[in-house]
Amino acid sequence: MSVGAVAPPPNTPLVVKPRGAFREIAGVLWSNSKSRIGLIILGIFIAVSIFGPLLTPYNPNDSNFQDMLGPSLQHWLGTTQNGQDVMSELIAGTRISVIVSFSVGAIATFLAMLIGITAGYVSGWVDEVLSFLTNVFLVLPGLPLLIVLASYAPGRGMSLIVVIIGFTGWPWGARVLRSQVVTLRTRDFVVAAHLAGDSISRIIAREVVPNMLSLVMANFLGASTAGLLAAVGLEFLGFGNPSQLSWGSMLYWAQNSSALLEGQWAWILAPGLCIAFFGMSLVLINFGFDAVSNPRLQEESK
Amino acid sequence: MEYFLRRVIFLIGTLWVAVTVNFFIPRAMPGNPVETMMARFHERGTMSPSAMKAITVMLGISHGNIFQQYGEYLNHVVHFNFGVSYTYFPYSVTYMISHALPWTLGLVGVATIFSFGLGTMFGIIAAMRRGKAVDGSLTILSSFTNTFPYFWFGLMALYFLSFVYHWFPLTGAYGASMTPNLSWSFIGSVAYHGFLPALTIMISSIGGWLLGMRNNMINALNEDYVLLATAKGLKPSWVAWMYVARNAILPNLTGFAMALGFVVGGSLLTEIVFSYPGIGYLLYNAVVNEDFPLMQGIFLIIVVCVVLANFVADLAYVMFDPRVRRGGAS
């Protein structure tokens, strides 16, 4: 990544050519100190989720230790009610949590793009209907809706959670992307492409989407953060798959075996901190994307 | 006027969608949860025939076709008749909700107001000191508190402040030996029991207000009138608080009105962690006991609050910001 990439001067409309878009965004992200910290933290989490099984001090399924031990040199975060090592569980559980977070983000962003771009580009009654739908879903309260859906759904499990959260997490993005498309639609380069006889799908793919890449990415990160929090909440309530290691299922087991009353506070502290740091890294990266799409927020000194 | 009309249509439309979604969720799910439910009730055999009938209507085992069922359901909803709770039989769902609602409104309402006030204030300060250490630490700190699972913060607070140090009670909304009345000792007990849950809600929501206000301020600080005010020789802090903040607060005010709507449904996990007898805890018990009428009743109440608050927010925005008024008229 090029550290020296120059941020565009403030107050110029940011219209980037498709090919240079990724590079330019990466440059702004890295030059922004907040998003740089975020990228580093996120990198660590992704590395742990990939190489997790190699890094655990013990086998996370090994239940031969004494149960409910507090933190010690042998077990940095203590042990569970079954005598598993909490540190090993935490490392092994990172993978599922990261996957859940990004899958929810991807589903929600895809739907947001589909609905937002269609509404913004097609306009007319299609826009009216889709915008109404977006606004309705925007005010439907998230967690209660998720709980009701999850309690009626047959069976339990992570994939169910991912699908439910992903399919209810698109409205914010759809609204933001729609208004961006509405302003882009009348820009000269889009009109030119239209006059040149390009098909709508080609215009959207080649002219519209590259010019709102930063918004799409920001939406993806936001949806991933919200998705992880919602998933952890549902898992904590027992809607997940308790036998699958993740930060949420750790909190579920810790709560259900009264970890706090037994004094095993580290079992609850650690997954919560991981969730918070993971979410924070995405939010910090988002500060960088805000700066890309709104030059006023860019840090002057860099 | 057209603006107002559009808002009313949206209000009614949203309510209708919510009610309809509520009607179709149990019917759209595969595996027919209705039959399993009914089987369970026959096993228990504790239901009176009229309660059975209420449940059949709620769950949709009406003998009419789907349109008749839908009409029947709409009629019940309009009369706030959500059937009988089967966990808290023979109490009706409406009765249970009306007893849990005041606790949630008090707890989350107060916490939301404080969180909005403090967050907005710190947001203004962060924007004024933009790029300085104060700004950096405030934004980093609030992005952190904004993304941790708030029930987790509640659990940690509960452990260290209540369990280890005994500074606060572990569960409930008031002392176990007390009966609700209007005496000072009872009110004191309520405040004492509500402190930690309220703190949890505040800590987890204050960051959002702060970051939002900071962004609005930074955008507004670039306006020409700020340049003029500075050129006239007004003190920067005076300009920030009396000119910029008043303009920048508009989006936050809308957000605040909406947040008041989310008060009812927004504290589920906090209430569960602290066993606080509000709507969230009731919903949790309904879910655990598969009490579908209660669950659906609570969900509807939550939606109605949010939609109404959204409506009020839209109207308030017109009052505060004349530009919207003109935009709506054209």
The confidence score (pLDDT) of residue A107 equals 95
> Measured at the alpha carbon of residue B205, what is the angle toward residues A214 and B7, in degrees to the nearest 5?
75
Looking at residue B41, what is its pLDDT?
61
Average model confidence (pLDDT) for chain A?
A: 81
- pLDDT confidence bin for B227, thresholds 50/70/90: confident
Q: What is the mean pLDDT of residues B275-294?
A: 83
What integer pLDDT is reported at residue B118 of this predicted model? 93
Nearest CA in chain B to A238: B288
How much is the pLDDT for A28?
76
Q: Do B25 and A147 touch (CB under 8 A)?
A: no
* pLDDT band per the 50, 70, 90 thresholds, residue B325: low
Cα B221 to Cα B227: distance, rounded to the nearest angstrom: 8
pLDDT at site B29: 62
Residue-level pLDDT at A8: 44
Residue A224 has pLDDT above 90, yes or no: yes
The stretch B93-115 carries a mean pLDDT of: 87
Domain chopping of chain A, boundaries: 19-52+96-301
Query: Which of B147, B215, B304 is most worth mutating to test chain A (most A CB atoms within 10 A of its CB)?
Result: B147
CA distance B13 to chain A (A): 8
- Of the partner residues A135, A144, A287, the one whose CB lies closest to the CB of residue B265: A144
Chain A residue with minimal CA distance to B279? A144
In this predicted structure, the answer to whether residue B33 has a pLDDT above a threshold of 70 is no
* A41 contacts in chain B (CB < 8 Å): none
> Which domains are present in chain B?
2-78 (no CATH), 93-329 (1.10.3720.10)
Quickly state the pLDDT bin for A3 (edges 50, 70, 90): very low
Q: Tell me how far the alpha carbon of residue A223 is from its chain's centroid.
A: 5
Please say whether the dihedral angle defined by the alpha carbons of residues A236, A239, A240 and A243, taken in this order, is positive or negative: positive
Q: What is the pLDDT of residues A37-95, one digit of tens each?
A: 889 999 999 999 998 777 777 778 777 777 777 777 777 777 777 778 888 888 888 99
Q: What is the spatial distance between Cα A234 and Cα A146, in angstroms, rounded to a whole number?
A: 8
Percent of chain A at pLDDT > 90 equals 12
Helix (H) / strand (E) containing A270 = helix A266-293
End-to-end Cα spacing for chain B = 11
Share of chain B above pLDDT 70, in %: 81
Q: How many Å from the N-terminal Cα to the C-terminal Cα in chain A?
A: 16
- Using a 10 angstrom Cβ sphere, with 0-12 exposed, 13-18 middle and 19 or more buried, the burial of residue B2 is exposed
Q: Is the pLDDT of residue B77 over 50?
A: yes
The answer to whether A219 touches A117, Cβ cutoff 8 Å, is no
Decide if pLDDT at A16 tops 70. Answer: no
Q: What angle do CA A252, A258, A261 make, to 5 degrees?
A: 140
Please give the pLDDT value at position A41: 92
Per the CB < 8 Å rule, is B265 touching A139? no
Q: What is the residue type of B78?
A: V
Residues 264 through 293 of chain B touching chain A, CB cutoff 8 Å:
265-266, 268-269, 272, 283-284, 287, 290, 292
Give the residue from chain B lying closest to A147, CA to CA.
Answer: B287
SS3 A199: coil
Quickly count: other Cβ atoms within 10 Å of residue B184's Cβ. 7
Predicted local distance difference test score (pLDDT) of residue A126: 87
Q: Which residue has the tokens 């609570």?
A: B298
Task: Select the residue of B153, B159, B266 nearest A260 (Cβ to Cβ).
Answer: B159
User: Would you call A139 and B14 a contact, using CB atoms and an 8 Å cutoff?
Assistant: yes
Task: Dump pLDDT digits (tens) for B43-73.
Answer: 655 556 666 666 666 555 555 677 777 887 7
- Residue A4's pLDDT is what? 42
Cβ neighbors of B296 (< 8 A, separation 6 or more) are A148, B22, B26, B58, B82
Task: Report pLDDT for A101.
Answer: 94
Cα distances (angstroms) measured from residue A154 to each of A103, A229, A252, B19: 21, 23, 20, 22
**Residues B130-159, mean pLDDT to the nearest whole number:** 83
Integer-rounded Cα radius of gyration of chain B: 24
**What's the whole-number mean pLDDT along residues B281-292?**
82
Q: Which residue has the higher pLDDT, B97 or B28?
A: B97
Q: Which residue of A has its CA nearest to B291?
A: A151
Higher per-residue pLDDT: A271 or A300:
A271
**Do A34 and A287 touch, CB atoms closer than 8 A?**
yes
- The answer to whether residue B31 neighbours chain A at the CB level (below 8 Å) is yes
Q: Which residue of A has its CA nearest to B152?
A: A272
Find, among B69, B83, B65, the residue nearest to B23 by Cα: B69
- The answer to whether the beta carbons of residues B219 and B274 sit under 8 Å apart is no
Contact B147 A260 (CB under 8 A): no
> What percentage of chain B has pLDDT greater than the value 90?
2
The answer to whether the CB atoms of A143 and B265 lie below 8 A apart is yes
Interatomic CA distance for residues B203 and B156, integer angstroms: 13
Is the CB of B262 less than 8 angstroms away from the CB of A290? no
Nearest chain B CA: its distance from A108 CA (Å): 18
Yes or no, beta carbons of A144 and B268 under 8 Å apart: yes
Confidence of residue B114 (pLDDT cuts 50, 70, 90): very high
Other CB atoms within 10 Å distance of the CB of residue B324: 15
Q: How far is CA A224 from the centre of its chain?
A: 1
| pLDDT grade for B40, boundaries at 50, 70 and 90 | low
Please report residues of A whose CB lies closer than 8 A to that of B162.
none
Considering only CB atoms, A148 lies closest to which of B219, B261, B299, namely B299
Q: Please give the pLDDT value at position A103.
A: 95
Nearest CA to A25 out of A299, A289, A226 is that of A289
Band (B36; pLDDT cuts 50, 70, 90): low
pLDDT at A14 over 60: no
CA B105 to chain centroid, in Å, comes to: 9
B148: nearest CA in chain A?
Answer: A276
- More confident: B91 or A41: A41
Q: What are phi and psi of A79, to 5 degrees?
A: -130, 165
Tell me the C-alpha distance between A290 and A297, whole Å.
7
Estimate to the nearest angstrom the gap between the alpha carbon of B94 and the chain centroid: 19
- The whole-angstrom separation of Cα A65 and Cα A68 is 9
Mutate to test the interface with A, among B29, B34, B155, B263 (most CBs of A within 10 A): B155
* Cα gap A217→A214, rounded to integer Å: 5
Quickly state the pLDDT bin for A300 (edges 50, 70, 90).
Answer: very low
Q: Which residue has the higher pLDDT, A122 or A25?
A: A122
Interface mutation vs chain B, best among A260, A269, A281, A301, most B CBs within 10 Å: A260
**Structure-model confidence comparison of residues A241 and B30, the more confident one:** A241
Q: Which stretch of DSSP H or E encloses residue A63? A: none
pLDDT per position as a tens digit, A129-186: 888 888 888 877 778 888 888 877 766 778 888 988 898 888 888 988 888 888 888 8
Cα separations (Å) of A84 from A98, A225, A298, B73? 22, 28, 47, 50
Report the CATH superfamily, name and number, of domain A19-52+96-301: MetI-like (1.10.3720.10)
Q: Determine contact: B10 vs chain A, CB below 8 A.
A: yes
Residue B264 has pLDDT above 50, yes or no: yes
Which of B101-115 are b and which e, b meaning 16 or more Cβ less than 10 Å from the residue's Cβ? bebbbbbbbbbbebb
Sign of the torsion formed by the C-alpha atoms of A261, A267, A271 and A277: positive
Residue B84, helix vs strand vs coil: strand
Which of B74, B202, B224 is closest to B150 using CA atoms? B202
What is the distance between the alpha carbons of residues A246 and A101, in angstroms, rounded to a whole number? 11
How many angstroms separate the CA atoms of B12 and A181, rounded?
28
CB atoms within 10 A of CB A124: 8
Average pLDDT, chain B: 78
CA distance B90 to chain A (A): 23
Interatomic CA distance for residues A67 and A79, integer angstroms: 6
DSSP per position, A69-105: --S-SSSTT-B-TTS-BHHHHHHHHHHHHHHHHHHHH
Structure tokens at B258: 């909406």
Whole-angstrom distance, CA of residue B152 vs CA of residue A30: 32
Asked if B269 and A248 touch (Cβ cutoff 8 Å), the reply is no
At B303, is the secondary structure helix, strand, or coil?
Answer: helix
Q: What is the pTM of this model?
A: 0.80
What are the start-end ranges of the H helices in B65-183? 66-78, 93-128, 133-147, 150-157
Task: Decide which of A20 and B147 is more confident.
Answer: B147
CA angle B77, A151, A144 (to 5 degrees): 60
Query: Residue A139 and residue B146: Cβ atoms within 8 Å?
Result: no
Among the ranges given (A11-25, A104-118, B79-93), the one the predictor scored with the smallest mean pLDDT? A11-25
Is B92 strand, coil or helix?
strand
Region A11-35: what's the mean pLDDT? Answer: 66
Higher pLDDT, B195 or B323: B195
